[in-house]
């Protein structure tokens, strides 16, 4: 088999080489032929232009001297003396002044009176006299008695001649040599030279290169060219001249190819013959042709060597490919195994919440009279449903990533709202596992940025959920956010997110595969934890799409720390004027970084702040302030601290400072969990971590009597929803029933449209302002939500800006972008979060407008 392959390769090589040489030789031959034709065309174009220039120059020269001859006539006609003798004298004087060497009066019968110069014999005299009899200005050639060739110019003129006859014309003459010099017809530095010939081919003015009396005789004395005989070539020339046409031909004179161009001259029966030798232009073409042949052969040799090298390398490459194929097959088998394992895990992970949903539904149905038990079942169903939805979202996201369709949706977001939202989402999981949770800020000064908020949420939730999931009960999970200048531009900032836990950690080997799809570490602890193995792959893809980085530091049994870095652009907006009174504020927390960050933010707001690292230190500092009479006016107190915790410290502070000074509890936990105990300890209020500058300002403003324009605007912007009419476009009966029941509890009046077309019809048929908002499903029969939204926006009604919120199962970034492009104000993903729908309705429904 190897010999037959080698033979095949050699035959292929020789065939390819032969084909290449044949193709190159054909191309070379073809190009040489094309070059010759191109040379002829270029020569013809060049000769045509040169002939046109010479013809124009000749015409100007003849017109000049004809004008001079006419000028002589005008001067004589304006003279005082009208005697014949005086006229002849003045004509002669005019001829001398204009450098004419010959001057004569001609009668109709050809008789002439020579006024100046020798007697001249006119060539083709009959044609010349005939043209003058017709009143034309005419040019002819003549020979003097001494044999000099003259250029004769005849212009109509009537004067008395000897014998009593009247003249027909005045004829002036110039040496033909003068014409040749004026037109530069001789061979010079240019490649072109010219002749003047008569229609019968005889030379009027010839170049020194021509020895014959007739140009036709010159051609007939040479050899033919390109398959034409001299006789055929002369016949073609005569036919072109007879038809007064321009004519171009290649002739061979004395063994040299010459491009020859014929064109008629004005005021005469002459032809201008321009000649350009081929030698100077042809030699480079021939040299180029020889060089092409040499280059072709060299190229063919190079190709042969290249082909030999290629075929040699092919053997080596084929061996490597076989090895790579084996590796690829091994990886494919491994991937198939991983996917099979993934499907097995998914089967277990999906069935687990489904089992809980089905089981709890059955239990609730069997115990409808037991309210508490039904409530407990519904809570478990809700939790299992959200977990199941998360699994489905992971699979769908991975499908989008593998097809390359996952995109980012750049929008203005608040980092404070983003982190607050994430903290609220993970709190139930933290609470369920009784874990210690905290959020820290470091040097965060920018809150409004341009980013894909949904994807940023997804990244942080994936990391926090993993930390909570793989951290045992009683463990610790921390989220830290730090800001620094971005190396990109001044308009960007760099944000660092750190998610640290005291969980089970991971092995070095698994860390290398952590961000691969379907990967889960195989251990008893991991196997007991539900998950798809896709979260980290999706997280890595999103971070890469944001042009950021993600790193992990982990040891088995020592927990893990994920570090995400992204550069985001600052949002262009007017910053709120946040200024607090110069109150003395004490920040108490066992985390020094939190204390320093909060103290720095308070200083930027205008307050005077100090910080203490624990309850005991806080008590001493408060005591010292009391003794000086300059007491703290607000105390911010962390809930969970070593030694004296927040509540214990609050009780002792109340005994020292009384009940006047506000004490606010700092915590990342829900206020509802500790509200009763906090009230009993003398806590005045609650401030949620993380302590953004805006969070501090808006919370402390309530206790300092500061009016916040932003807060007032927000309150004015949130109307009561009772009695508001909402048009809900939904084709699915069950979805309609669920939405109607959930939203009606807020006092909303819900009206249904079964598809987009009905939705548009109801909107068109209603009075302007009848509906306060539209909740729009996307995938509907007859007309989908996108088309319906566009139709409403294009209606031209005064309320065409009615809030339209997409309420759909299309959950990806491109779906959100498409909704916005169609004029929708918001995008809610099914299964709907009722609180989010109400929040969006409060945001977009105009205040002061009711049904």
pLDDT tens digits for range 657-700: 887 888 888 877 666 667 778 888 888 888 877 888 788 888 88
According to the per-residue pLDDT averaged within each range, which of 243-252, 294-303, 770-779 is highest? 770-779
3-state secondary structure of 20: helix
Six token digits for residue 423: 């903290």
Q: Identify whether residues 269 and 301 lie together within a single domain.
A: no
Confirm whether 578 is domain-assigned.
no
690 cis-preceded (ω within 30 degrees of 0) = yes
Are 419 and 525 contained in the same domain?
A: yes
Segment of 105-109, 738-742, 781-785 carrying the highest mean pLDDT: 781-785
Q: Are residues 502 and 353 in the same domain?
A: no
Domain-embedded: residue 142: no
Helix count (H) and strand count (E) of the chain? Answer: 24, 28
CATH number of the domain enclosing 189: 3.30.450.20
- Could you give the CA distance from residue 809 to residue 731 in angstroms, rounded to a whole number? 13
Q: Do 474 and 442 form a contact (C-beta atoms < 8 A)?
A: no
Q: Read off the pLDDT of residues 214-237 as tens digits, 9 standing for 90 and up.
A: 888 888 888 877 778 888 888 888
What is the distance between the alpha carbons of residues 622 and 569, in angstroms, rounded to a whole number? 42
Question: Is the pLDDT confidence value at 439 over 60?
Answer: yes
Q: What is the CATH number of the domain that holds 503?
A: 3.30.565.10
Task: Answer yes or no: are the C-beta atoms of 275 and 222 closer than 8 Å.
Answer: no
* 524: exposed, middle or buried (Cβ count in 10 Å: 0-12, 13-18, 19+): exposed
pLDDT of residue 283: 65
Candidate from 414-418, 710-714, 774-778 with smallest mean pLDDT: 710-714
User: Is 683 within the bounds of a domain?
Assistant: yes
Domain limit, last residue, from 396, 429, 459:
396
What residue numbers bound the domain in which 447 lies?
A: 407-570
Q: Are residues 211 and 272 in the same domain?
A: yes
Which tens digits make up the pLDDT trace of 791-844?
999 998 999 999 999 988 776 667 788 888 899 998 888 777 787 788 788 888
Tell me how far apart the alpha carbons of residues 225 and 175 are, in angstroms, rounded to a whole number.
Answer: 37
**Over the stretch 729-775, which tens digit does the pLDDT of each residue have?**
999 888 888 888 888 888 899 999 999 999 999 999 999 989 999 99
Is 781 within a domain?
yes
529: pLDDT confidence band, cut at 50, 70 and 90? Answer: very low
Domain harbouring 752, CATH code:
3.40.50.2300
Per-residue pLDDT, averaged over 532-559, amounts to 82
Most confident of 12-26, 204-218, 644-658: 644-658
Minimum mean pLDDT range among 267-271, 402-406, 594-598: 402-406
The pLDDT, as a whole number, for residue 133 is: 86
Specify the pTM: 0.48
pLDDT digits (tens, 9 = 90+) for 137-187: 888 888 888 888 888 999 998 888 877 788 888 899 999 888 777 776 654
Lowest-pLDDT choice from 391-395, 418-422, 532-536, 847-851 = 847-851
Let me know: does 493 contact 570? Beta carbons within 8 Å.
Answer: yes
pLDDT score at 397: 60
What is the per-residue pLDDT for 753? 93
Provide the number of structural domains found in the chain: 5
**Measured CA angle at 801 (ends 800, 807), to 5 deg:** 105
Examine the pLDDT at 59 and tell me if it is beyond 50.
yes
Q: Are residues 548 and 423 in the same domain?
A: yes
Based on the domain organization, do 245 and 312 belong to the same domain?
Answer: no
Give the pLDDT band (50/70/90) at residue 88: confident
Q: Do 244 and 263 sit in the same domain of this protein?
A: yes
Verify that 419 and 530 share a domain, yes or no: yes
- Alpha carbon 12 to chain centroid, angstroms: 45
Domain annotation covers residue 553:
yes
pLDDT at 410 over 80: no
Q: Looking at the domain assignment, is residue 745 inside a domain?
A: yes
Per cent of the chain over pLDDT 70 is: 80
741, with CB counted inside 10 A (0-12, 13-18, 19+), is: exposed
Residues 737 and 777 in one domain: yes
Q: 467 and 536: one domain?
A: yes
Q: Residue 337's closest CA among 529, 528, 525, 533?
A: 533
Q: Look at residue 773 in the predicted model and tell me its pLDDT.
A: 93
**Chosen domain end from 396, 429, 451:** 396
| 721 Cβ contact list (under 8 Å, min separation 6) | 746, 747, 748, 838, 841, 842, 845
Among 266-280, 326-340, 366-380, name the one with the lowest average pLDDT: 326-340
pLDDT value, residue 566: 93
Mean predicted confidence (pLDDT) in 605-627: 87
Is residue 271 domain-resident? yes
Q: Are residues 646 and 545 in the same domain?
A: no
266 and 287 share a domain? no
The separation between the first and the last C-alpha atoms of the chain, rounded to the nearest angstrom, is 88
Residue 131 clears pLDDT 60, i.e. is over it: yes
Residues 692, 413: Cα–Cα separation, whole Å: 14
Write down the mean pLDDT value for the chain. 79
pLDDT class for 652, splitting at 50, 70, 90?
confident
The reply to whether 116 falls in a domain is no
548, 570, 592 — which closes off a domain? 570
Are 842 and 718 contacting, i.e. CB atoms less than 8 angstroms apart?
yes
Residue with tokens 């190229």: 299
Q: How large is the average pLDDT for residues 53-75?
A: 84
Residue 372 has pLDDT above 50, yes or no: yes
């Amino acid at each position: 088999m190897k010999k037959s392959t080698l033979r095949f390769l050699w035959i292929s090589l020789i065939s390819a080489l032969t084909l290449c040489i044949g193709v190159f030789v054909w191309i070379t031959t073809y190009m040489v032929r094309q070059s010759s034709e191109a040379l002829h065309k270029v020569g013809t174009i060049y000769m045509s232009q040169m002939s046109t220039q010479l013809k124009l120059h000749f015409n100007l020269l003849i017109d000049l001297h004809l004008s001079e001859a006419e000028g002589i006539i005008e001067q004589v006609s304006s003279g005082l003396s009208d005697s014949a003798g005086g006229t002849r004298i003045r004509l002669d004087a005019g001829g001398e002044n204009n450098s004419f060497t010959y001057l004569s009066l001609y009668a109709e019968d050809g008789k002439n009176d020579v006024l100046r110069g020798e007697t001249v014999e006119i060539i083709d005299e009959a044609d010349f006299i005939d043209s003058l009899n017709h009143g034309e200005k005419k040019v002819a050639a003549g020979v003097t008695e001494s044999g000099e060739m003259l250029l004769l110019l005849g212009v109509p003129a009537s004067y008395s001649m000897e014998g009593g006859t009247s003249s027909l014309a005045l004829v002036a003459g110039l040496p033909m040599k003068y014409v040749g010099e004026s037109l530069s017809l001789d061979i010079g530095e240019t490649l072109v030279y010219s002749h003047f010939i008569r229609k019968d081919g005889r030379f009027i003015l010839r170049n020194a290169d021509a020895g014959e009396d007739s140009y036709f005789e010159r051609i007939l004395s040479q050899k033919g060219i390109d398959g034409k005989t001299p006789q055929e070539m002369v016949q073609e020339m005569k036919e072109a001249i007879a038809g007064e046409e321009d004519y171009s031909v290649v002739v061979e004179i004395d063994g040299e190819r010459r491009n020859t161009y014929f064109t008629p001259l004005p005021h005469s029966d002459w032809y201008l013959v321009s000649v350009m030798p081929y030698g100077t232009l042809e030699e480079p073409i021939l040299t180029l042709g020889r060089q092409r042949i040499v280059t072709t052969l060299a190229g063919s040799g190079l190709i042969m060597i290249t082909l030999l090298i290629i075929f040699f390398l092919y053997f080596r490459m084929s061996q490597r490919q076989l090895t790579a194929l084996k590796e690829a097959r091994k990886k494919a088998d491994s991937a198939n195994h991983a996917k099979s394992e993934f499907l097995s895990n998914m089967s277990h992970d999906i069935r687990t919440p489904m089992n809980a949903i089905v089981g709890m539904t059955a239990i609730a149905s069997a115990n409808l009279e037991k309210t508490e038990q039904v409530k407990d079942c519904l809570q478990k169903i809700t939790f299992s449903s959200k977990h199941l939805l998360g699994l489905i979202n992971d699979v769908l996201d991975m499908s989008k990533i593998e097809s390359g369709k996952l995109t980012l949706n750049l929008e203005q977001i608040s980092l404070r709202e983003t982190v607050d939202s994430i903290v609220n989402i993970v709190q139930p999981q933290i609470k369920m596992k009784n874990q210690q949770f905290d959020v820290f800020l470091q040097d965060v000064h920018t809150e409004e940025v341009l980013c894909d908020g949904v994807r940023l949420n997804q990244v942080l939730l994936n990391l926090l959920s993993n930390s909570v999931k793989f951290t045992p009960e009683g463990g610790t999970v921390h989220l830290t956010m730090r800001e620094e200048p971005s190396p990109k531009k001044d308009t960007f900032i760099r944000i660092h997110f750190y998610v640290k836990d005291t969980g089970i950690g991971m092995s070095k080997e698994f860390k290398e595969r952590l961000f691969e799809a379907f990967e889960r570490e195989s251990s008893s602890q991991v196997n007991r934890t539900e998950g798809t193995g896709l979260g980290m792959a999706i997280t890595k893809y999103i971070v890469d799409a944001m042009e950021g980085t993600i790193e992990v530091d982990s040891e088995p049994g020592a927990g893990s720390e994920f570090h995400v870095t992204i550069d985001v652009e600052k949002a262009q907006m007017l910053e709120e004027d946040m200024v607090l009174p110069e109150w003395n504020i004490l920040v108490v927390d066992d985390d020094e970084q939190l204390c320093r960050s909060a103290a720095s933010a308070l200083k930027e707001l205008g307050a005077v702040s100090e910080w203490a690292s624990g309850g005991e230190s806080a008590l001493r500092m408060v005591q010292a302030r009391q003794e000086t009479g300059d007491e703290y006016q607000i105390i911010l107190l962390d809930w969970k601290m070593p030694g004296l915790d927040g509540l214990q410290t609050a009780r002792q502070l109340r005994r020292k400072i009384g009940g006047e000074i506000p004490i606010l509890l700092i915590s990342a936990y829900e206020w509802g969990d500790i509200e009763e105990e906090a009230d009993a300890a003398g806590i005045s209020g609650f401030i949620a971590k993380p302590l953004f500058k805006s969070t501090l300002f808006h919370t402390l403003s309530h206790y300092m009597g500061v009016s916040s324009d932003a807060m007032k605007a927000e309150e004015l912007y949130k109307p009561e929803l009772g009695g508001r009419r909402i048009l809900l476009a939904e084709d699915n009966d069950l979805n309609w029933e669920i939405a109607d029941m959930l939203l009606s509890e807020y006092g909303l009046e819900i009206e249904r449209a079964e598809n987009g077309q009905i939705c548009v019809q109801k909107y068109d048929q209603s009075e302007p302002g009848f509906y306060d908002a539209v909740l729009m499903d996307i995938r509907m029969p007859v007309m989908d939500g996108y088309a319906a939204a566009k139709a409403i926006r294009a209606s031209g009604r005064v309320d065409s800006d009615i809030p339209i919120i997409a309420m759909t199962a299309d959950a990806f970034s491109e779906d959100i972008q498409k909704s916005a492009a169609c004029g929708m104000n918001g995008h809610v993903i099914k299964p709907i979060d009722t609180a989010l729908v109400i929040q969006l309705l409060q945001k977009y429904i105009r205040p002061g407008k009711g049904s």
